[in-house]
């Protein structure tokens, strides 16, 4: 397990909330996609490398999400279930590198 370093975890709250609502089924993949991309694109935080990598990796996962079955197959995208699995993993990894208070 990674050693705890205080990365200003409070600023991760919006990301955690988005991911948790999606994982719990309270929001759709389309809503997550819209809200996560908006949050990520306007975020000017100078994240430490481990946090940045996790957020960036999930950004690419969200970018790979394609709602339309036919188009998803053509572009080798991921579906909502695959995105949810990636969200679960991202939350787990965030908890390891930047535990909540």
pLDDT digits (tens, 9 = 90+) for 60-94: 999 999 999 999 989 999 999 999 999 999 999 99
Q: So what's the pLDDT on residue 10?
A: 61
Q: What is the mean pLDDT of the chain?
A: 90
Beta bridge partners of 78: 65
By C-alpha distance, which of 81, 88, 50, 87 is closest to 66? 81
Measured CA to CA, the distance from residue 20 to residue 44 in angstroms comes to 22
Looking at residue 1, its pLDDT comes to 35
Per-residue pLDDT at 9 exceeds 70: no
Cα–Cα separations (whole angstroms), residue 14 to 58, 65, 68: 14, 20, 27
- pTM of the predicted protein model: 0.86
CA-CA distances (angstroms) from residue 35 to 12, 18, 21, 22?
A: 14, 8, 11, 11
């Amino acid at each position: 397990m990674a050693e705890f370093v205080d990365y200003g975890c409070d600023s991760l709250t919006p990301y955690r909330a988005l991911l948790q609502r999606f994982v719990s089924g309270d929001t759709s993949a389309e809503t997550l996609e819209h809200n996560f991309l908006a949050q990520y694109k306007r975020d000017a935080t100078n994240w430490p490398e481990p946090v940045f990598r996790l957020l960036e990796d999930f950004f690419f996962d969200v970018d790979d999400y394609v709602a339309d079955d036919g188009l998803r197959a053509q572009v080798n995208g991921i579906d909502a279930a695959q995105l949810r699995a990636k969200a679960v993993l991202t939350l787990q990894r965030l908890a390891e590198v930047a535990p909540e208070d």
